Each structure stands twice: as C-alpha cells, then as structure tokens.
Amino acid sequence: MRILILLVMACWSFTNRAAAALRPPGVPTVRKHLVYLRDKANTPYSLSAPQRFLTARALERRTRQGIALQSRDLPVDPVYVEQVQSVSGAKVWYTSRWFNAVVVECDSATLAVVQALPCVRSARTLNRSGVGVVVSPVGEGSAPTVARPAGTRADYGRAYAQTHQIGADVMHDAGFRGEGMQIAVFDGGFPGVNTGAVFTSLYQENRLASVYNFVGRDQNVYQYDNHGTLVLSTMAGNQPGVFIGTAPQATYHLFVTEDVASEQPVEEVNWLIAAERADSLGIDIINSSLGYNTFDAPSVDYTYAELDGRTALSTRAATVAARVGMLVVSSAGNEGNNRWRYLTAPADADSILTVGAVDSLGARANFSSIGPTADNRLKPNVSAMGRQAAFVYPSGAIGRGNGTSFSSPITAGLAAGFWQAHPTLTAQQVIEYLQRSASQATTPDTLLGYGIPNFGRAQQAVAGIPLPTAPTVGVGNRVQLYPNPVPAGAAACTLQLPAELRSQPLEVRLYDVRGTLVTTLLLPASNAAIVQLPTTALRPGVYSCRLGRSGGPPYTLRLIRL
C-alpha cells in the first residue's frame, strides 16, 4: 500500500487522484513480468571499463566510500535481451543490472515461450489487473524569483518547527543547505513543481537535474498525484518568508515510480529500475515516501514474516542501493494504529535510514509504523516531525498533514546538509552519526528508533566530543547551550539555566582544546532562565564551557564555534 498522508487539512484536494483513477473503458489488461536471466557470462561489459555503464560521479561515490565493483553492477547481456525481444508479442520495458532481469510486457501464452528460452531462469508476474493512466501533462514554465539565504524564523514560515526540531536551521546558518548533494525523489507525481514559486530556484539555478516517469516510460512527471509535490516541498522548498525546506540548495531528480491507479508489484520493480538509474547517475540520497504490504491481488500481499529485509522486491532493491553507497531514506509507514502496525517495504531493508513520525513536541505519532523487522532488527532508525508537518500544495498554498511521508524527506534534507559538511563520510557513517545524535540514542526502541536526530549533536559526534545523555531538543531543567554549533558571525549563543543556577552570580570560563583559558565571563545574579553568552571574540573551534557557582560543583558543557 502506498504511504499516503493519513489526516490532512480540510483544504486537501483529491482532483489528481480522481482523475488518475479513471480508466479507459474496454482496454484489455496487458501484464508485465520480471524475467530473470541465467547469467552474465558472455556480457560485452567489463568491470575494468565501468565508464561504459556508470557515470564518473557514480564511480567517484564508490571510490570515496571504498566500494568495489561487482558483477551485479554489469548490465545484462544484450544478446539475452535480443532473444527475449525476438519472441513475437514480447515487449521489453526495462532491464535490471542488479537482479539480472528484464521487465517484459506480454500475455500468458507469450510468457510461456519466453520462459522456454535457454537464457531465461524464471519469471514472476508483476500485475494481475489494471491499465496505465492517461492524464494530460501540466503546462511548464514560471517566472524565476531570487532566493536568499535562510536565517530567521520568519524566513521558514510554517516549516520552522519541523526544521528547528532537528537543528536544520542551525545547519543552514552554518552554510550547509545541501549544495552539491544530489537527491532522487521516488513518488507518484509532481504537479505544480514546474510552476510553483516555492520551486522556482530549482530551475533558476539548474538544480533540477533530471525527471523520468517509470510508469509511462516518458518524462511527464508534472501530473498524476500531488503526493510527490508535497514531499518534495519539505526538502526543496525555497521561498524565504513563505516556506524553506531542509535542503533548499540541493540538486534534485524527480522519478515517478508509483502508478496511482492501482497497487501492483510492478511498482516495486519501477522502484528498482529508478534506483539503478540513481546509482548510474551518481546520486547521493534517495527519498522514498512509499510503502508496500497489500496489493490489488491479495494473493501477493506481504506477510509480516516477509518483512525480513530479504523478501520484498523493493526491500531487496533498497538493500543493493545502500550497498553501492547511496543513502536510502524511507518512510516507516502509517500503519501504527491499525491491525498491521508494523513497517511496510522497503522500510525493513538493511543499511537504510527508516524514519518514523513525531509531533512538534517530540511525542510519537500514533499512526507511525513500528518495528522490529521480522528478523528482529531495530526499526525505525530515527524519527522526525510527521504529525501536522507543513508542506506546499501545487497551488502554492501552505498546508499541514500527517504521515511518515513527510518525516522521511525532512530527515533526508538533514542528511544531505550533514553529509555536505562531512563529504568524506560513507553513507553508513552518516546513518551512524545521525543515530548517535538522536534524542534517545542511549535507549533506542521499536517505536522511535534512536529518536529525533539533531545536526548540532551530530557535529559533536564527528568531532569526537562526548554527547550528553539528555536530549538537546525541547526545554527542561538542565544546562544547555544553543545553537550549538554557534554559527559563524553570530554575536552570542543562548545559555539555558535550571532553577538551581538562577538568583546567584555565575562565572563562565571557556577553554580551548589544549586546555588554555580563553576568556572568563561574569554573569550577574538573575531570575532569568535564559541568558546570552557573547561569542564574538571566539575563533572557530571546539571549547569547554565551565559554569562555576558559589558553594557548588561546576557544570561543564562543550561548545563548537563555526
């Protein structure tokens, strides 16, 4: 089942879905099949000449992460493809390097002939009913607007809460907005992306690198369901004063993999083919706000036992995508308050970042799917705001809705900026640091995983600074410094004081990494819970901040100055 928003505001429009659900009468079903080939023994491609099938950026991503090429990276044998294509009535739609297979459209009688070929190992039917959707494309073109850097709460509009909760606003102020990172978005359609003001900087700055509709084998992506538009806006939105997403300067690829008119395993294969294209293009991050457990034909529904990281088609594809160095970010699912309760594929995949949902206060959203996987691995990995998350409609209106469909891209944008800040990390290290930064990193569970990730804490983890056991999100009765890291150029940071440190003078001493006293500040007695700590004189670096009080032990915190 596709992961859609569970509860949305009253202004939600079902126009695109209703249009997509209209099927031309009397058109017969033509089935698609995943045909597995026997081998790659005689392929003309070689691992010694990978530039024939992988871009320089794809090869660089592997080299940077120490990932060796394997036979799965080789394209299928073109001679085998020709043999399948030569069967009368068989139409080859796609080939799959990773699964050594071809997607073939044909009837049952033709499939029997295909399966008899010596080059064919086996076949699986991917759709039992339904036909393609025909919708007129949305017109292109919009007037560009000039974007400016994010900085204030007002700049983010309604996106501020979900951005601030994970420290993405601090990340932006530190200069990491996703520049140079490439993100592929797999979804069911992107109407309005080519006309909306919140997306115009994508075109103005040439950051919309490619689009493709894997359902119709064309480039018509600005149509069908608006789910993809809403998802994209939480990352790529870039209209200061109205809405800013978590990765407003990243480069994007928009891939339609979901056929909104039906629910068939062929959509999981579309996911696979899109992931292979993402790999070959050198894309860094895949966001998948999609999930599968039930289909139009109940006989192919997944059971919970099959959510083991090895069974579902999309799960197997996501696992390989992670193995070749891409960071796959997936919605956990919206099944937490129904009979299924658990994750949906591909969220059960190993080595990917599966994201659950919380509200603005950090409490778990009851619809958020839970773990563990069937083979008892911890899922979700982390959680972010998915209850009453803000997004942008194709019309440009700002809305709010519920779903892990939103917590996933919000987190993917955080991952993009964090990876930009630390480009030598591997995708798996990015996951590790985000988990270590999260609000319940020391006590993970199958409801929220490691909790809510935070950019500042992830920065501390990379720097080797011991993290406090208490989360840095929210306000409580503990000493806190924020934003931390302190952005370059910031005149001060905020020092939060518990009740026991108020109403008495405080001495604040800052030491550098060598233990040298850099400065001493005297704070007069005050009942204020929040005071400002000047940082203008501090050079970029890591500092130990010690708070002393009369008659009591000192409090020590770490401070990073960017």
Tens of pLDDT, residue by residue over 398-430, are: 999 999 999 999 999 999 999 999 999 999 999
Give residue 17's pLDDT: 31
Read off the pLDDT of each residue in 286-299 and give the average, rounded to a whole number.
94
CA distance 259 to 276: 19
Lowest mean pLDDT among 273-282, 353-362, 493-502: 493-502
Per-residue confidence (pLDDT) for residue 313, from 0 to 100: 97
pLDDT of residue 148: 41
Burial of 142 (C-beta count, 10 Å sphere; 0-12/13-18/19+): middle
Distance, in Å, from the CA atom of 62 to the CA atom of 324, rounded to the nearest integer, reads 7
CA 487 – CA 119 distance, rounded (Å): 60
Start-end of CATH 3.40.50.200 domains in the chain: 15-21+154-460
| 136 in active site | no
The answer to whether the beta carbons of residues 206 and 377 sit under 8 Å apart is no
pLDDT of residue 20: 34
Produce one character per residue of 200-228: b if its CB has 16 or more CB atoms within 10 Å, e if not.
bbbebeebbebbbbbbbeeebbbbbbbbb
Tell me the backbone φ, ψ of residue 457, rounded to 5 degrees: -70, -35
| Exposed e or buried b per residue across 375-387, where buried means at least 16 C-beta atoms within 10 angstroms of its C-beta | eebebbbbbbbbb
**Res. 464 pLDDT band, cuts 50 70 90:** confident
The residues pairing with 105 across neighbouring beta strands, listed in sequence order, are 32, 91
Strand partners, 549: 552
* Cα–Cα dist 415/421, whole Å: 10
Q: What is the pLDDT of residue 467?
A: 60
Give the start-end residues of each E strand in 341-464.
353-358, 382-385, 389-392, 398-401
Confidence of residue 510 (pLDDT cuts 50, 70, 90): confident
DSSP lists the bridge partners of residue 35 as: 102, 123
Q: What is the pLDDT of residue 419?
A: 97
380/431 Cα distance (integer angstroms): 12
Q: What local confidence, expressed as pLDDT, does residue 553 receive?
A: 67
**Average of per-residue pLDDT across 552-562:** 75
CB atoms within 10 A of CB 281: 16
Q: 15-21+154-460 in CATH: which number?
A: 3.40.50.200
Per-residue pLDDT reduced to its tens digit, 265-278: 999 999 999 999 99
Give pLDDT, residue 141. 31
What per-residue confidence (pLDDT) applies to 544? Answer: 78
User: Which of the residues 73, 169, 187, 259 is marked catalytic?
Assistant: 187
pLDDT of residue 465: 67
* Structural contact between residues 383 and 364, judged by C-beta atoms closer than 8 angstroms: yes
d(CA 378, CA 435): 12
DSSP secondary structure code for residue 478 in this structure: S
Q: What is the pLDDT of residue 137?
A: 29
Residue 91 has pLDDT above 90, yes or no: yes
- Residues spanned by CATH 2.60.40.3080 within the chain? 480-561
User: Which two structure tokens, joined as six digits, stand for 92?
Assistant: 């080859």
The CA-atom distances, in angstroms, between 56 and each of 62, 68, 250, 273, 282 are 10, 15, 19, 20, 8
> 213 pLDDT exceeds 80?
yes
CB burial of residue 146 (10 Å; 0-12, 13-18, 19+): exposed
Region 461-481: mean pLDDT is 58
Q: Is the pLDDT of residue 356 over 80?
A: yes
> Once rounded to an integer, what is the mean pLDDT over residues 367-371?
97
Is the CATH code 3.30.9.10 the one for domain 480-561? no
pLDDT digits (tens, 9 = 90+) for 372-386: 999 999 999 999 999
Which residues are bridge partners to 238 per DSSP? Answer: 244
108 is catalytic: no
DSSP string covering 512-558, please?
-TT--EEEEEEE-----SEEEEE-TTPPSEEEEEEEEETTEEEEEEE
Q: How far apart (Å, rounded) are the C-alpha atoms in residues 422 and 419?
A: 5
Residue 25 — very low, low, confident or very high, per pLDDT cuts 50/70/90?
Answer: very low
Rounded CA-CA distance 160/343 in Å is 28
Max alpha carbon distance in the chain (Å)? 90
Instruction: Please give the pLDDT value at position 533.
Output: 85
360 catalytic per annotation: no
Query: What is the pLDDT, as a whole number, of residue 466?
Result: 62
Q: What local confidence, expressed as pLDDT, does residue 171 receive?
A: 94
Mean pLDDT of the chain: 87
Considering only residues 470 and 480, tell me which one the structure prediction assigns the higher pLDDT: 480
Gyration radius of the chain's alpha carbons: 25
Q: What is the pLDDT of residue 84?
A: 98
Q: pLDDT tens digits for 95-133?
A: 999 999 999 999 999 999 999 999 999 999 998 754 443
- Residues 6+ positions from 512 with CB-CB distance below 8 Å: 518, 541, 542, 543, 544
Task: Give the burial string for 504-533 (b: 16+ CB within 10 Å, else e).
Answer: eebebbbbeeeeeeeeeeebeeeeeeebeb
**247 closest CA partner among 317, 327, 315:** 327
Q: Encode pLDDT of 236-258 as tens digits.
A: 999 999 999 999 999 999 999 99
Is the distance from CB of 368 to CB of 356 less than 8 angstroms?
yes
Whether the per-residue pLDDT at 181 is higher than 70: the answer is yes
Confidence of residue 4 (pLDDT cuts 50, 70, 90): very low
pLDDT value at residue 551: 63
Over the stretch 40-60, which tens digit does the pLDDT of each residue have?
Answer: 999 999 999 999 999 999 999
Residue among 169, 201, 225, 227 flagged as catalytic: 227
Confidence of residue 177 (pLDDT cuts 50, 70, 90): very high
| Catalytic site residue from 405, 408, 437, 439 | 405
For the segment 216-239, the average pLDDT, to the nearest whole number, is: 96
Distance of CA 122 to the CA centre of its chain: 33
- Residue pLDDT, tens place only, 26-39: 445 579 999 999 99
In this prediction, residue 471 carries a pLDDT of: 35
Res 293 pLDDT > 50: yes
Average pLDDT over residues 297-325: 96
Share of the chain above pLDDT 90, in %: 70
Residue 218 is classified by DSSP as B
218 neighbors 255 (Cβ within 8 angstroms): no
For residue 185, what is the enclosing H or E element?
A: strand 182-187
- Does the structure show a pLDDT above 90 at 22? no
Which pLDDT does position 472 carry in this prediction?
37
